[in-house]
Chains A and B, each alone.
Chain A
């Protein structure tokens, strides 16, 4: 930028592309600031910050709910052990989000809203966002005493019978197929392996162009992250339909 002769400051940019920040941008900002501040003050009159009884270790609230933005994770605790739901999945979400610009090689659709030019990217994002929102909605409005499922018309003060009869996948294999526990366990490992193997290999042949554009490293990273994300509703469905507690049991951890 430099000072030039003339009656007005000018930059090297094309004149028709830009407008002066003052007043055009500052007006927009001023209006936004006023609207948000007014909304905050107005809402604060009606929505008070809660303050419950002072800390007491002898009484435990039931249900114990985290703030709403963490209820997605808390809801996952129903279906996964804490090391997955509370630590590994949040870490993977953050890492996965950070990797998005390096995994999405599609040069189109920068600087405008478009679905047709980035069908895959927008669909995957919408899937993740939808899943996250659904888990939060369930956590906020459908969970009550003992973290049981409560419909809006259920009495929130009556305990629901606890869910019993959950079995590990390996045990189901062993009893249904009449094989040893070791074989049942091996079969469950194989099934998890097959889920990832099929998920990784099949798209290579069906979506050749997608695979070629990404290259092996980007492709594997993308698909592993996607398969883990898609595995969450799969595991939830297995629990709800087949009463399966763990799909994979190892001496060190259970999934």
Chain B
């Protein structure tokens, strides 16, 4: 029996399919041991070796990693919610009710999505404070701090665009207040300083662009939905990639 298993395993590991997936041999040789390390995607994302000090909890507080994890959790739960939610003002609210009361585990996913969103704002904030306090933005890492601030801004805008989607009183009025301020933008808003002088009107200023109208309505809902579910997450992923790439290239800031 074990002989048969051995032959099956020998055959499997010698097929082209196996070798295409695992690009190193099966025998325990020094070369294969090296290759398992160097051809592994995990070691593309991580360094093979890490500075001893940089994995201490009291240095990193794990906040950058926690932020990434929450981003992943938000993506997964968000995708699940997208199966049930339609950004139509006539049914959006009822869809949320269905998610909360009818869909299996729907309320869990929505609760986790919301908690993770609030949590992500908090962890980004703590991560930034940690990086500041350890002087980790000093040369050569200045630009990565700038990328981090962009990611902080994206986190806040992502959270805010998601706020409108349930289409309840809380969502509607919070976004009404928020977008009203866009109309007060200097130069580009009709109510802002120098706005009227530059030809801004109710129907052509930055608030109009954001809302797709003069008040929060169907156009606003679809704009916020697309921004929240597609545009902003993609932009965030691009900056995340740069952020992590630079951590690898500049080296971790931990004590020498």
A40 on the interface (CB 8 Å rule)?
A: yes
Nearest A residue (CB) for B40: A22
By a CB distance below 8 angstroms, the chain B residues around A50 are 170
* Residue B132 CB within 8 A of the other chain: yes
CB-CB under 8 A from A100, the residues of chain B are 132, 137, 145
Interface residue? A163 (CB, 8 A): no
Quick one: which of B69, B107, B136, B174 contacts A64, CB cutoff 8 A? B174
Q: Is A82 an interface residue (CB 8 A)?
A: yes
Chain A residues numbered 58-101 whose CB sits less than 8 Å from any CB in chain B: 59-61, 64-70, 74, 81-83, 85-88, 94, 97-98, 100-101
- Kindly supply a per-residue 1/0 record for chain B positions 196-217, scoring 1 wherever the CB is within 8 Å of any chain A CB and 0 otherwise: 0100000000000000000000
Is A157 in the interface zone, CB < 8 Å from B?
A: no
Given contacts A61-B169, A66-B178, contact A252 B33 (CB under 8 A): no
**1/0 per position for B84-96, CB-CB distance to A under 8 A?**
0000010001001
- CB of B138 within 8 A of CB of A52, answer no
CA distance A112 to B254 in the complex (A): 7
- Residue-wise interface mask of B (108-128) relative to A, using a CB-CB cutoff of 8 A (1 in contact, 0 not): 101111111011010000001
Interface centre among A24, A61, A111 (most CB of B within 10 A): A111
- CB proximity to B under 8 Å, residues A93-141: 94, 97-98, 100-102, 104, 107-114, 118, 121-122, 125, 129
Does residue B31 face the partner (Cβ distance < 8 Å to A)?
Answer: yes
**How distant is the Cα of A185 from the Cα of B109 in the complex, in angstroms?**
57
Residues of chain A lying within 8 A (CB to CB) of residue B167:
54-55
CB distance from B61 to the nearest CB of A (A): 10
B237 to chain A, nearest CB (A): 19
Whether B1 is near chain A, meaning CB under 8 Å from some CB there, is no
| Cβ–Cβ < 8 Å partners of A40 in chain B | 73, 112, 115-116, 119
CB within 8 A of B255: which of A22, A24, A61, A112?
Answer: A112
| B55 contacts A by Cβ under 8 Å | yes
User: Chain B residues near A66 (CB, 8 Å)?
Assistant: 174, 177-178
Given contacts A64-B173, A64-B177, A83-B193, contact A25 B138 (CB under 8 A): no
**Count the B residues whose beta carbon is within 8 Å of the partner chain — how many?**
91
Please indicate the chain B residues that have their CB under 8 angstroms from the CB of A110 in the complex. 134-136, 138, 253
Q: Is A104 in contact with B168, judged by CB distance below 8 angstroms?
A: no
User: CA separation between A111 and B89, bound complex, in Å?
Assistant: 51
Q: Residues of B contacting A67 with CB < 8 Å?
A: 118, 159-160, 163, 174
Using known A-B contacts A51-B166, A113-B133, determine if residue A9 contacts B194 with beta carbons closer than 8 Å. Answer: no
Docked complex Cα distance between A29 and B237 (Å): 20
B152 contacts across to A, CB distance below 8 A: 97
Assess whether B79 is interfacial by the CB under 8 Å rule.
Answer: no
Point out residues on A near B: beta carbons under 8 Å: 1, 3, 6-9, 11, 13, 17-22, 24-26, 28-29, 32-33, 36-37, 40-41, 43-45, 47-56, 59-61, 64-70, 74, 81-83, 85-88, 94, 97-98, 100-102, 104, 107-114, 118, 121-122, 125, 129, 252-253
30 interchain pairs, CB-CB under 8 A: A8-B33, A19-B55, A20-B50, A21-B43, A28-B57, A32-B65, A36-B70, A45-B111, A47-B115, A49-B111, A49-B114, A53-B168, A55-B168, A64-B174, A66-B174, A66-B177, A67-B174, A83-B185, A83-B189, A83-B191, A87-B182, A88-B186, A110-B135, A111-B256, A112-B255, A114-B135, A122-B132, A129-B129, A252-B194, A253-B193
Interface set of B (CB-CB < 8 Å, partner A): 30-31, 33-34, 37-38, 42-43, 46-52, 55, 57, 62, 65-66, 69-70, 73, 89, 93, 96-97, 100, 107-108, 110-116, 118-119, 121, 128-129, 132-139, 141-143, 145-146, 149-150, 152-153, 156, 159-160, 163, 166-174, 176-178, 180-182, 184-186, 189, 191-194, 197, 253-256
Extra A-B contacts (11), CB below 8 Å, given A22-B42, A97-B128, A109-B135: A21-B46, A24-B50, A47-B111, A49-B110, A51-B168, A52-B169, A60-B173, A86-B184, A87-B189, A111-B255, A125-B129
